[in-house]
Amino acid sequence: MNKQELLSGLTIGSWIQIGSPVVGEIMASAGFDWLAIDLEHSMITLREAEDLIRVIDLKGVIPLVRLSSNNHEQIKRVMDAGAHGVIVPMVNSAAEALAVVQSVKYPPLGSRSIGLARAQGYGVGFDKYFEWQKEQTIIVVQIEHVDAVANIEEILEVQGIDAYIVGPYDLSGSMGLPGLFESPQFLSALQKIHSAGKKLGVPGGLHIVEPDPEALQECIKQGNQFIAYGIDTRMIDMACRNGLKNKKDDIL
């Protein structure tokens, strides 16, 4: 799957917080369109991230990296490791969105420095990669603060921004309503974000943190196109707890 196929319709990915290629291989075999390696809220190292990128890529799934911050050095290193793109937290302005694009793209489109690592075939594939990065890198901004909502159209208008994803916990927290996803203020903010994306032709969606199939279907019905479903740690936790609960119920 290439970038154009990924962004042309509904796409569902997931989050990885466990730094094992076994987890990456299992999830890449499950049917997700993309997988995001989370460097913000996990202990995954760059060495582990490269191994996860490799196994996800080899399984034919798009490997993305959720950065710890909007940091051009980190962007350069994960892209050189072979990530197809980045998901950037707390992008609150057009200037911050432009900084991401500059860090992902080589000159003249951006300012990323040139190296010869895995992405470039350790040198032998540099020319091919140079052409690939012009059109195929994927840049996703996270909208997760009231300032981002206020600037949403300016952010999504930045050339090179391909999609957005709402971080519901941080967004609700910045509104003084942590976790209150049914509050009128939060729903109004979601509608403003969704309307801007639709107006500008930028696909977007939510991160459904708890792996709930009904919540996923509802999210799709609401018109979201770029959806993150679950986290590896939450999936394991819920499977264990539900299994034990059923067993205890049988005994009782």
* Active-site residue list: 41
Strand partners, 206: 166
Place of tokens 């159209």: 153
Closest C-alpha to 163, from 202, 207, 111? 202
Q: How many Å apart are CA 73 and CA 133, to the nearest integer?
A: 17
DSSP labels, 126-148: HHHHHHHHHHS-EEEEEE-SHHH
* Residue that is written with structure tokens 């999210």 in the block: 219
**DSSP H or E segment with residue 168:** helix 168-174
**DSSP state for residue 175 in the 8-state scheme:** T
DSSP for 55-72, please give it. HHHHTT-EEEEE-SSS-H
- Count of residues in the chain: 252
Q: Tokens at residue 177, please? A: 């309503």
Query: How far is it, in rounded angstroms, from Cα 212 to Cα 207?
Result: 11
Read off the tokens for 19. Answer: 């730094």
Torsion, CA 108, CA 112, CA 118, CA 120, rounded to 10? 10
Residues 6+ apart with CB under 8 A from 15: 35, 36, 38, 66, 207, 228, 230, 231, 232
Contact 151, 19 (CB under 8 A): no
